[in-house]
Each structure stands twice: as structure tokens, then as C-alpha cells.
Amino acid sequence: MAGEGDNESFVACLSRLPPHADGIVFAVSSFDGSTFETVQSAHCRIVDESLGRELARYGLPAHGPHTALIMAEVTRGTGAWTMAAIGEPVACTTFADLLQAAEA
């Protein structure tokens, strides 16, 4: 049924990133102009696939006239990765627009 479970997913193998990579931003977007007005809820979660266990879940505001949502940022600290939920709605029509919003 639509709206239940994970509709979209990202897989990030953090251990395979080069040492100079210190962060990743996760976003969802609709470059065809569709908005998030029909989205009733959104969440971002971290799952350790090797353990089959959910480590964290963040509910995010999604409903609105925007075309993209910057979901979360994962950053590398001293020996560990941390995740911060962002949930920032943005209006963009291209990947370059989304990249600029994510860098802000």
C-alpha cells in the first residue's frame, strides 16, 4: 500500500568512503515540478543491514508546496559517523539548485 514502509531508500557504505569525505547529505526531490503537497508524512532512518536492525528514525515535516526536501546529513567525527535530521523544504528545478541548497 502506498505511503506505508520505505518508499525510497539510500544505501551508503560509509566504510568505503575516502578519508577526506567527511559528510553526506541525503535529499529527495521532484525535478518534474511535482510538489510535496500530497505527502502526509516522511521519515529518515538508519538501518544497520548487517544486523537487520533500525538504529535511528526521525520524523520529518514534508507536506507543502516545495519540490525537494533535504532529509539528513551524515558527518564523520573522530572515529565515528553521526546523523542529524534536517527536514528542510526547498524549491528547486535542477540538481544544481538542490546542490546549492544542500551546501547552504
Amino acid identity for residue 67 in this structure = T
Extents of the domains making up the chain:
14-103
- Percent of the chain at pLDDT > 90 equals 1
Mean pLDDT of the chain: 80
- Entry pTM: 0.75
Q: Using one digit for the tens of pLDDT, what is the confidence trace for 6-52? A: 667 777 788 888 988 888 888 888 878 788 887 777 777 777 777 88
CB 98 within 8 A of CB 92: yes
DSSP secondary structure, 51-69, as one string: TTEEEEEEEE---BS-SEE
Q: In this structure, which CATH number among 1.10.8.50, 3.30.365.10, 2.60.60.30, 3.90.15.10 belongs to the domain 14-103?
A: 2.60.60.30
Q: How many CB atoms lie within 10 A of CB 93?
A: 14
* Three cell numbers written together for 44: 529518515
pLDDT score of 4: 59
Q: Is residue 63 very low, low, confident or very high in pLDDT (cuts 50, 70, 90)?
A: confident
Amino acid 7: pLDDT: 66
Q: Tell me the C-alpha to C-alpha distance, in Å, between residue 66 and each of 27, 60, 99.
A: 13, 14, 15
For residues 31 and 11, what is the distance between their CA atoms, to the nearest angstrom?
Answer: 21
